[in-house]
Structures are given as C-alpha cells and as structure tokens.
C-alpha cells in the first residue's frame, strides 16, 4: 500500500474526528481551556523562577521560555495527532475490541495509533508556537529559512520519539492484564523535557539524556535556534529517532502475535 492510500485513510479519520468534535463543542472548549491553563502554569513558573535568578544551568529567561515553548509544541502535536488513539489502544487490547483494527485495510499499528485526532491539542499548538516566536524575538534571533526548516524537522523527530515511547508504554497490554502503571510512567518522563540538558549530571544525565532521550527531544531543536546548526546534535537526534521508532515497531508487532481476539 502506498503513501496516498494511507493519506486518504488518515484524512477520513481526521474528518470524522473533527465532525465528532463539532457535535460536542462544550467538551472541546473545556479541554482546550484546561490545556491552555496547564501551559500557562508552566510558563508562569519560568517567570517566577527568573524573578530570583538571571540564569538556570546557563540558560537565560527567554532562552528557557523558548525551550519550554518547544517542549509544549512537541507535546501538543503528540496529543493532537496520537494521544487518544494510543491510550485507547490499551483499553481495546484488554477488552478484545482491538479486533476492529485487525480488519482494517492497512498496517495495524498505523490504524490503531492514528484513528483519532484531538483538535483541542492541535489548536493549542499555535499558542506553543507563539511562545517560541515571542521568545526568539526577545532574544533578537533571526533564523534563516534553513534554520526554521531544521527546527521543524527536529520537532518532528521529537514527536516521533515521544510517540515511540508512548507505544512502548502501552504495548505491554498485549502480555499483561493491566498496563496502567506503565502507562502512567510516561507522564513522569515527559516532565523532564522542559529542563535544560546542562541541569542533568551524573546518573541523571545517563538516564534522561542518553538512555531515555526525553531531554534531548526539546533541547536539540531549541539549541539549533539559539546557536545554529550542529552536525553532532542533528545526527544524534536523527539516529535516536530511528532507533526508538524501530524498537517501538518491533515491540508492537511482537505483542500483536500474542493478542487473543474477542472471538477466540
């Protein structure tokens, strides 16, 4: 099956999600406001911290705002495009409703993780992008078109890495009755993505920079805007993106072979 086929499937699912959202406008606005409030709390925390210090791990206020904005942008895209589908996947596996995806005309992992779109998360991605642009203007940055394209590519890599980690947190549902404890671990890990890489030392650096690259996914694109192209940073991010996505695909399909359908 070619790219156009999957694009049509995704557009059909996206259209259904948007129509469904318009049927429940109250829920849409409430969740959009909840996410907006959560983003505002994160930005307010940065402002409060920098009332008492000029730098944190070598990062100034607006450099930190740019970092936090980048982290929020990646998370809004993740929530908008994949979040609901992946978390629902765990429940479908446990209930046997995962049979629905086995009967679909496409790759099972693609169908199961892209079925639902969350417009509220995507809407707030513009707010996160606005934070990045505002911070860049305050810092006097003038990135070229190539720098912006590279930043976009690295943000996409960050989304793929978070997507892969989320799939790996949910996939144990193929083996065990409940993976809720493992699912919850993702929330804890994602909190580290809004911190500067320089703040991690020793074992923390090994754990959250090298083994679990939750810090790199936001620090790498932010650093690219701040300091320009760095081949080592870009190469490292592209490499770990490929590794994490490959591991997620392998782990998912191994679990799929153990799946017992509702009819068996």
Q: Which helix (H) or strand (E) element contains residue 183?
A: helix 180-190
What confidence tier does 78 reach under pLDDT thresholds 50, 70, 90? very high
pLDDT beyond 90 at 153: yes
In order, the DSSP letters of 106-174 are: S-HHHHHHSS---HHHHHHHHHHHHHHHHHHHHTT----HHHHHHHHHHHHHHHHHHHHHHHHHHGGGG
Average pLDDT rounded to a whole number, residues 240-260: 91
Indicate the pTM of the whole model. 0.88
**What pLDDT, on the 0 to 100 scale, is given for residue 185?**
67
Per-residue model confidence as pLDDT tens digits over 33-42 = 888 888 888 8
Angle of CA points 136, 142, 143, to nearest 5°: 95
Per-residue model confidence as pLDDT tens digits over 168-197 = 988 888 887 665 656 566 767 777 777 787
**What pLDDT, on the 0 to 100 scale, is given for residue 43?**
87
Q: Which helix (H) or strand (E) element contains residue 6?
A: helix 3-23
Q: Which helix (H) or strand (E) element contains residue 36?
A: helix 25-49
Per-residue model confidence as pLDDT tens digits over 85-133 = 988 888 888 777 888 888 877 889 998 999 888 888 888 899 999 999 9
């Amino acid at each position: 099956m070619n790219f156009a086929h999957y694009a049509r499937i995704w557009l059909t699912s996206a259209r259904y999600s948007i129509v469904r959202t318009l049927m429940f406008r109250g829920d849409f606005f409430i969740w959009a406001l909840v996410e907006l409030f959560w983003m505002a709390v994160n930005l307010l925390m940065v402002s409060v911290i920098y009332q008492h210090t000029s730098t944190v791990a070598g990062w100034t206020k607006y450099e930190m705002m740019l970092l936090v904005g980048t982290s929020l942008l990646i998370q809004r895209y993740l929530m908008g495009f994949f979040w609901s589908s992946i978390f629902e996947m765990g429940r479908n596996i446990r209930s046997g409703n995962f049979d629905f995806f086995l009967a679909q005309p496409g790759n099972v992992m693609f169908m199961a993780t892209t079925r639902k779109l969350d417009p509220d998360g995507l809407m707030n991605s513009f707010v996160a992008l606005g934070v990045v642009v505002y911070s860049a203007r305050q810092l006097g940055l003038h990135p070229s078109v190539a720098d912006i394209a590279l930043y976009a590519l690295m943000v996409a890599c960050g989304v793929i890495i978070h997507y892969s980690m989320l799939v790996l947190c949910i996939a144990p549902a193929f083996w065990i009755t409940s993976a809720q404890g493992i699912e919850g671990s993702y929330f804890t890990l994602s909190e580290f993505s809004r911190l500067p890489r320089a703040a991690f030392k020793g074992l923390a650096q090994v754990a959250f920079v090298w083994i679990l690259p939750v810090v790199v996914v936001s620090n790498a694109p932010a650093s690219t805007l701040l300091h320009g192209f760095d081949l080592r940073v870009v190469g490292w991010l592209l490499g770990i993106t490929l590794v994490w996505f490959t591991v997620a695909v392998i782990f998912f399909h191994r679990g799929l072979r153990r799946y017992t359908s509702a009819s068996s």
